[in-house]
Structure 1
Amino acid sequence: MSDSHERSEMEREAARRAREARRSERASTPPVLRMEAPPASTERPARPAGRRPATPRTPLSSRLPSPPRARRPRGVRRVRLLFLGLCVVLVVIVGWFLNALLQPLGGSGSGQVRVNVPEASSTAAVGDLLARDGVVASGFFFKIRAELAGDHFRAGTYRLAHGMSYSAALTALLKGPALPPSVEVTIIPGKSRYQLDRLLHAEAVPGSYLAATVHSPLLNPRRYGAPAHPPSLEGFLYPDTYQLPKPLSISALVADQLTRFKVEMAKVNLAYAAAHNLTAYDVLKIASLEDAEAALPGDLAKVASVIYNRLALGMDLGLDTTAAYAANNYSGNLTAAQLASRSPWNTLNHPGLPPTPIDSPDLAAIEAAAHPAHTHDLYFIVRVCGNGALNFTSSYPQFLLWSRQYDAALAARGARRTEFCGHG
């Protein structure tokens, strides 16, 4: 035991001296930053109990804080975002404009449309004309396309189509008029066959309008509730403006009128009239009476209401215009004999509706006849100095009072019409 103790003391003394030697050596030698490689041995060195293993020091450069990143002011970021948003909107607008202008999916259209280009028409006027007739989608974009191409168009009548692309319409127009020169004919609503025959004869149009409107293979009146053999096509000759080839042909005019009538009549809902036991032909009769009696569109449905109410009560319609039709006298001065005529068209002497319409009504009058105003009125009369307006009432004494006022105004004006007192 003593030997081991002495050796232990000696060993401790040797270790102490060795430590002092190392300390003195480190004090005399300047410190050097060294990175020593770990020992090649895979064995882990034993560590003294109660002490944590030494943690390798991180190089000084890696422990220094990173310099702060410069932040852009919020205003700059907002400006950039706004600029980017405007760029996106601009791209969308340009894309839409080019698509609308170039129409990459546009075609040659469908159906047929006759378009008359007047003399000295501007590109803008031609574009508006095509857009109005449904040939192109926009007169504005058509004008741009035509001006970019430097195109100019000749006056005349063209055969085009509905829904054409701008390029297809330009191509068709540049080929020149496809149809011969045309003439524009306007048929005023409320005019009878007799009146139109006189007008066409006065314009030196060859042929007879009366003869051409007795019947036609283009329209069967029985489909509209007319009798098997109506005396004429009165009521089916739709009033409108028609573009017809020169020289004007009455048969071509009648064909266009009948074709247009079928198109317009198909738009009318006849359920209300059917509920009152009226056919489509009866509706045409009522519409023709409205057009003959009412000068203002706002009075059409009111006149129809009076007719419906009188029919429901079994009263005579008592309309002077039917006596004028029966006598073919449209001067406004019916004779006593004409007013007393026993013609079935004279509703002063015959109950119910006349056998046929007394003129050709337009769509507004037909719609009013199919959907009359809901009133209890039984009478109407021209309003003195009313510029064509009518007075309506359900009272017969009131009607008589207005009648006396009208007669007095007529006498004071020397038998001149009293509707338009401001016109002399």
Structure 2
Amino acid sequence: MSNSNEKPRNALYEERVSQAKIVRKIVFFCVIGLFIIGTIVLISSYFYISNALGPVNEENPQEIEVTIPIGSTANQIGTILEDEGLIRSGTLFRYYVRYQNESGFQAGDYSLSTGMTMDQLIAELKDGRVVQDPELVFTVPEGRWLVDVAEIIASETGHSHEEVMDVLTDREYIEGLIDQYSMLTDDILNEQIRYPLEGYLFPARYDFMVEKPSIEEVVEAMLDRTQVVVDTLATDLEDSEYTIHEIMTLASIIEREAQTSEDRYLISGVLYNRLDRGMMLQVDPTVSYALNEHRYMTTYADLDIDSPYNTYRYEGIPIGPIASPGEDSIQAALRPEKTNYLYFYARFNGEVIYNETYEKHNETHQMYRNEWVEGQAGEEE
């Protein structure tokens, strides 16, 4: 009886051993297969990148005349070089420039060769000769509302303010821009947002080779500059818990509140601390924007306005930016200074005082609140 029972057991054991061997072989060959595929992909990628970084035609190089316009971004330069047949990929050029942290490209006329590597082309593009002086130069300061930026564009280009605003609020045009710029998302199409492009028109000096560029040319030149800044902060954005639209909104608040670089990062830290604790941000510039009036100082009555921009009434980050932030403010919004501060008070003279408790903050407020009243009265005289 016992012998007959052992045979089935032995057979079952051997069958399981056999199956285990088969499974191990399958796993082994799968691992080998994946390793081989991975190796092929890595080798292929290496040769592709090496080839793309190398000369387009080293054996029979051809000299090509190229003009790089004033204000060209790395993306635009890459497109020009690719169109002229000097590099294989404008996209790779842009990423390579970012990876190498290259900058300082000069506008000008160049005689470039298809026998040059990408590194050689980059070096050459840093030593250009300006083709001609720009016909139009103007500067947009940091922290301006979109309507104020539109006024600057209008006064400098000869277009009317109404024409500029028509372009800046044209939904079809804006939807096209969303397809063109990765930083622009459908968030800006929210019907409660006052102006979709608020906060995205970069404050800087702009040079144009024509006396009266089109409104679209100006707008896209400004968006190009913002996209360049956003691209340089790509790693920070990937690590952030907030969307690009939320970061631009925080940056706009920081820009309106801070006067120094140090304060931008400290104020950013306060905003993050309040958000982490579920506290309202309670920043005055959002109230002014909600009121659609440039207020020197806000009153208690102002704080009651029912608007998604009003951070005294609604928790979290407002629905959208309230001004055009500069690069330092955008960076500060992504790299807040780590402190225990929950409150800050900006004095009339520009000094910002930080506190960890409401009691201390209230003492500071009571101590310096008359500065703003007296300062406003003095400027009105």
Name the TM tier (shorter chain). Answer: 0.5 to 0.7
Q: How does 1:342-361 map to 2 (within 5 A)?
A: 342-361=306-325
Secondary structure of the 1:114 match is coil
2:187 aligned partner? 227
1:416 is displaced (CA, Å) by 4.1
With over 3 angstroms needed to count, the CA separation of the structure-2 counterparts of 1:414 and 1:278, relative to structure 1, is: closer
1:113 aligned partner? 69
1:181-230 CA distances to partner (integer Å, 9 max, x unpaired)? 61112111211112212334455731433332232623447755552724
1:232-290 CA distances to partner (integer Å, 9 max, x unpaired)? 1122211111112212432221010112221221000454x665631122111111110
Structure 2 CA distance for aligned equivalents of residues 169 and 275 of structure 1? 37
Structure 2 CA distance for aligned equivalents of residues 263 and 414 of structure 1? 38
With over 3 angstroms needed to count, the CA separation of the structure-2 counterparts of 1:204 and 1:165, relative to structure 1, is: closer
1:259 aligned partner? 224
With over 3 angstroms needed to count, the CA separation of the structure-2 counterparts of 1:114 and 1:163, relative to structure 1, is: farther
Structure 1 vs Structure 2 CA RMSD: 3.6
**TM-score scaled to structure 2, two decimals?**
0.60
Aligned with 1:391 (options 327, 349, 353): 353
With over 3 angstroms needed to count, the CA separation of the structure-2 counterparts of 1:262 and 1:308, relative to structure 1, is: same
Number of matched pairs: 266
Q: Is the 8 A contact 2:145 2:322 kept in 1?
A: yes
1:367 is displaced (CA, Å) by 0.9
Aligned with 1:268 (options 214, 233, 239): 233
Aligned with 1:408 (options 346, 355, 370): 370
Q: Is the 8 A contact 2:265 2:333 kept in 1?
A: yes
2:246 aligned partner? 282
Residue type at the aligned position of 1:112? I
Secondary structure of the 2:229 match is helix
With over 3 angstroms needed to count, the CA separation of the structure-2 counterparts of 1:228 and 1:400, relative to structure 1, is: closer
Greater per-residue helix proportion: 2
Q: Is the 8 A contact 1:108 1:163 kept in 2?
A: no
Question: Greater CA radius of gyration, 1 or 2?
Answer: 1
Q: Is the 8 A contact 1:113 1:133 kept in 2?
A: no
How many percent of aligned residue pairs carry the same amino acid? Answer: 23
Structure 2 CA distance for aligned equivalents of residues 165 and 202 of structure 1? 34
Aligned with 2:212 (options 247, 251, 273): 247
Q: Is the 8 A contact 2:140 2:152 kept in 1?
A: no
Question: 5+ unaligned residues in a row in structure 2: which ranges?
Answer: 1-60, 72-102, 109-120
1:134 aligned partner? 106
2:165 aligned partner? 210
- 1:320 to 2:284 alignment: yes
2:152 aligned partner? 199
Structure 2 CA distance for aligned equivalents of residues 248 and 368 of structure 1? 33
**TM-score scaled to structure 1, two decimals?**
0.55
Secondary structure of the 1:356 match is coil
Question: 5+ unaligned residues in a row in structure 1: which ranges?
Answer: 1-104, 116-130, 137-160, 418-423
Q: How does 1:86-105 map to 2 (within 5 A)?
A: none
Q: Which moved more, 1:224-233 or 1:290-299?
A: 224-233
Q: Is the 8 A contact 2:68 2:107 kept in 1?
A: no
Secondary structure of the 2:137 match is strand
Structure 2 CA distance for aligned equivalents of residues 315 and 363 of structure 1? 27
Structure 2 CA distance for aligned equivalents of residues 369 and 277 of structure 1? 12
Structure 2 CA distance for aligned equivalents of residues 332 and 412 of structure 1? 12
2:10 aligned partner? none
Q: Structure with the greater relative contact order (CA < 8 A, sep ≥ 6): 1 or 2?
A: 2
